[in-house]
């Protein structure tokens, strides 16, 4: 019969063409797959859902400052290991690992530069370096930057991105940075100079409870997680369900903790206008 006389066919499975790595990023907000070049051109903001991706310290500086005007302070300052901390990894190993990964000496970069022609002192914390936690170097860099601003009668802008708060590897040396940075800001305030605090995702714990939370004007990026302890820990402690959006920028603006929410595209222009008003 013809049925049995049909020629045999060989099934060929074509190999799927390999896609080069590093071309696409999945959005954490809406799960959309985004072309990296498009994402970077949009300042690392998802064009579909407006999710603001994390920026490193140098990316922040390039976003806010006029081109080639940044002069860094205390560039070579790096942490020591006062407690000789040991765990799954030693503190020294953690420092070396994150220094290699980020190209930074520690989680903060500070210096002076021009923002639309206005001279400012700026400091940025980087959440890629031990979650942007504040150890003795971060506190010292920020304090020195504030003191330089006070001496030279300049405004201060600090961009915070810290999910780690005070750095446990340094114990009390880390905790004392909270009061030290706030003391420096108090003298800066007494000199009637402006301090603008910018909160990004996430800004938590000891950083939020110190310099990040005492700005003359506090700005946050959209949907940034901001607080002291994370919402899951709070729910487990009080055994109650938290309101929707708790600890996000929009919730905190509604309840008066921050002054405004500014899209990353508008941040430089907004800061320039605020500096004009505050001067």
Give the model confidence (pLDDT) of 33-83 as tens digits.
888 888 888 888 888 888 888 888 899 999 999 999 999 999 889 888 888
Query: Which residues on adjacent β-strands are paired with residue 248?
Result: 225
**Is residue 146 pLDDT above 90, yes or no?**
yes
Q: How far is CA 49 from CA 30, 162, 212, 222, in A?
A: 6, 23, 27, 11
**Is residue 16 pLDDT above 60, yes or no?**
no
**Is residue 279 pLDDT above 90, yes or no?**
no
Answer yes or no: are the C-beta atoms of 228 and 237 closer than 8 Å.
no
The confidence score (pLDDT) of residue 40 equals 84
Alpha-carbon distance 177 to 254, whole Å? 30
3-state secondary structure of 266: helix
Record the tokens describing residue 59, joined without a space: 């990316």
Percent of the chain with pLDDT over 90: 44
Alpha-carbon distance 254 to 260, whole Å? 10
Domain ranges for the chain, please list them.
20-53, 55-278
**Is residue 5 pLDDT above 70, yes or no?**
no
pLDDT tens track for 150-204: 999 999 999 998 877 888 888 889 999 999 999 999 999 999 999 999 999 888 8
Confidence of residue 23 (pLDDT cuts 50, 70, 90): confident
pTM: 0.84
H/E segment holding residue 172: helix 172-190
pLDDT tens track for 243-267: 777 888 899 998 899 999 999 999 9
C-alpha closest to that of 229 among 209, 253, 213: 209
Q: Which CATH superfamily is domain 55-278 in?
A: 2-enoyl-CoA Hydratase; Chain A, domain 1 (3.90.226.10)
The confidence score (pLDDT) of residue 235 equals 78
């Amino acid at each position: 019969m013809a049925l049995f006389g049909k020629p045999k066919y060989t099934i060929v499975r074509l190999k799927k063409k390999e896609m080069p790595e590093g071309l696409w990023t999945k959005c954490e907000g809406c799960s959309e797959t985004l072309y990296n070049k498009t994402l970077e051109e949009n300042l690392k903001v998802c064009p579909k859902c407006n999710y603001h991706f994390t920026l490193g310290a140098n990316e922040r500086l390039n976003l806010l400052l006029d081109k080639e005007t940044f002069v860094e302070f205390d560039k070579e300052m790096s942490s020591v290991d006062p407690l000789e901390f040991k765990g799954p990894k030693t503190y020294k190993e953690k420092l070396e690992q994150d220094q290699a990964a980020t190209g930074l000496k520690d989680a903060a970069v500070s210096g002076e530069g021009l923002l639309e022609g206005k001279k400012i002192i700026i400091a940025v914390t980087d959440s890629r370096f031990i979650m942007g936690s504040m150890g003795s170097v971060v506190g010292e860099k920020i304090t020195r930057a504030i003191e330089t601003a006070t001496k030279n009668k300049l405004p201060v802008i600090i961009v915070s991105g810290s999910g780690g708060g005070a750095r446990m590897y340094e114990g009390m040396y880390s905790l004392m940075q909270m009061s030290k940075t706030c003391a420096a800001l108090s003298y800066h305030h007494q000199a009637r100079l402006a301090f603008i605090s910018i909160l990004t995702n996430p800004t938590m714990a000891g950083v939020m409870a110190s310099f990040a939370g005492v700005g003359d004007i506090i700005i946050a990026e959209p949907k940034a997680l901001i607080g002291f302890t994370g919402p899951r820990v709070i729910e487990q402690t009080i055994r109650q369900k938290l309101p929707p959006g708790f600890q996000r920028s929009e919730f905190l603006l509604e309840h008066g903790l921050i002054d405004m929410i500014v899209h990353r595209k508008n941040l430089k222009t907004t800061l320039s206008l605020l500096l004009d008003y505050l001067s």
